[in-house]
C-alpha cells in the first residue's frame, strides 16, 4: 500500500519513455500503421501499459488495462477529424522523476507522463502539436470563409433564378457548388502533417 502511494507521489506509477526510431519496428503500434497509404511513425512514447504513437496522420493509442494485462484497446484519432487543442508541457519539480505533456485531440483529453531525462525530445513533440493545432485552427477559419463565399454567391444569383432554370444551367450550378465545397474541404481539412513533424522532430 505504502509503496503504491509513494509511487503516485513521485510519479512512478506508469511513466513512459520515448522510443528511438531504430526501435519503432519492435513496438505493437507498428502493426497498425497504414504504411500502404503513406503513414509513418514520427514519435512514440511507451509505458508499462500504454503506447502513444504519433504518425503524420493520427495519434494511435494502445491502451492497456493494467501493467500486467496483455489486453490492449486500439484507439486511433486522425488529425483530420480530431483537432488538437490546449497543448501544455509540465516540467519536473525537485523530487519529480517525470515530466508531463497534456493536450486534447477531438473531445478526448490526454495527459502523458514521461521520464524527465527525455525533456528535450518532449519539447520537440510539444512544438509539433502546438504547430498542428495552429494550422488546424487557421484552416477552420478558411473553410468557414469558403462556405460563406459560396452562400454570398448563391444569394447574389437569387434575383436571376426566381424563374425556373433550364436543366443544364441548374446542373452546372449544382456541380460548381459541389466541386467548390469538395475542393475547400480537401484543402482545409488537412490529413497529412509530415512537414510539421519533419520541421520539429526530424530537424
As a whole number, mean pLDDT of residues 142-154 equals 64
pLDDT > 70 fraction of the chain, expressed in percent and rounded: 64
Higher-confidence position of 152 and 133: 133
Q: What is the pLDDT of residue 3?
A: 37
Whether 70 has a pLDDT exceeding 60, the answer reads yes
pLDDT-derived band at 64, boundaries 50, 70, 90: confident
Q: What is the pLDDT of residue 165?
A: 56
Give the integer Cα–Cα distance in Å for 85 and 52.
17
Please give the helix or strand (H or E) that residue 42 lies within, else none.
strand 41-46
Q: What is the pLDDT of residue 69?
A: 59
Residue found under cell 510539444? 126
pLDDT-derived band at 175, boundaries 50, 70, 90: low
| Average pLDDT score, the chain | 81
Q: What is the pLDDT of residue 134?
A: 95
Whether 127 has a pLDDT exceeding 50, the answer reads yes
From the list 128, 121, 122, 139, the residue with the least C-alpha distance to 191 is 139
Prediction pTM value: 0.76
Across the beta sheet with 108-115, the strand order is 84-90, 98-105, 108-115
> What's the CATH code of the domain at 138?
2.30.29.50
Q: What is the pLDDT of residue 71?
A: 78
pLDDT-derived band at 7, boundaries 50, 70, 90: very low
Phi/psi of residue 103, each to 5°? -165, 160
Our count of domains for the chain comes to 1
**Could you list the residue range(s) of the whole structural domain that residue 69 is in?**
1-203
Question: What is the DSSP code (8-state) at residue 49?
Answer: S
Going along 47-166, which residue ranges are E strands? Answer: 50-55, 58-64, 72-78, 84-90, 98-105, 108-115
Whether 173 has a pLDDT exceeding 90, the answer reads no
Q: What is the pLDDT of residue 14?
A: 79
Amino acid at each position: 500500500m505504502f509503496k503504491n502511494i509513494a509511487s503516485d507521489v513521485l510519479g512512478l506509477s506508469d511513466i513512459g519513455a520515448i522510443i528511438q526510431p531504430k526501435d519503432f519496428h519492435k513496438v505493437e503500434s507498428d502493426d497498425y500503421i497504414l504504411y500502404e497509404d503513406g503513414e509513418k511513425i514520427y514519435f512514440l512514447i511507451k509505458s508499462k501499459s500504454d503506447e502513444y504513437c504519433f504518425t503524420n496522420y493520427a495519434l494511435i493509442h494502445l491502451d492497456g488495462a493494467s501493467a500486467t494485462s496483455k489486453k490492449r484497446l486500439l484507439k486511433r484519432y486522425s488529425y483530420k477529424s480530431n483537432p488538437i487543442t490546449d497543448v501544455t508541457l509540465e516540467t519536473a519539480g525537485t523530487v519529480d522523476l517525470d515530466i508531463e505533456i497534456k493536450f486534447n485531440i477531438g473531445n478526448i483529453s490526454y495527459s502523458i507522463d514521461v521520464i524527465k531525462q527525455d525533456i528535450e525530445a518532449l519539447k520537440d513533440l510539444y512544438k509539433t502539436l502546438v504547430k498542428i493545432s495552429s494550422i488546424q485552427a487557421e484552416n477552420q477559419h478558411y473553410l468557414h470563409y469558403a462556405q460563406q463565399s459560396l452562400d454570398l454567391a448563391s444569394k447574389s444569383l437569387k434575383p436571376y433564378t426566381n424563374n425556373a432554370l433550364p436543366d443544364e444551367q441548374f446542373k452546372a450550378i449544382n456541380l460548381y457548388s459541389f466541386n467548390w465545397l469538395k475542393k475547400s474541404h480537401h484543402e482545409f481539412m488537412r490529413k497529412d502533417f509530415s512537414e510539421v513533424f519533419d520541421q520539429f522532430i526530424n530537424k
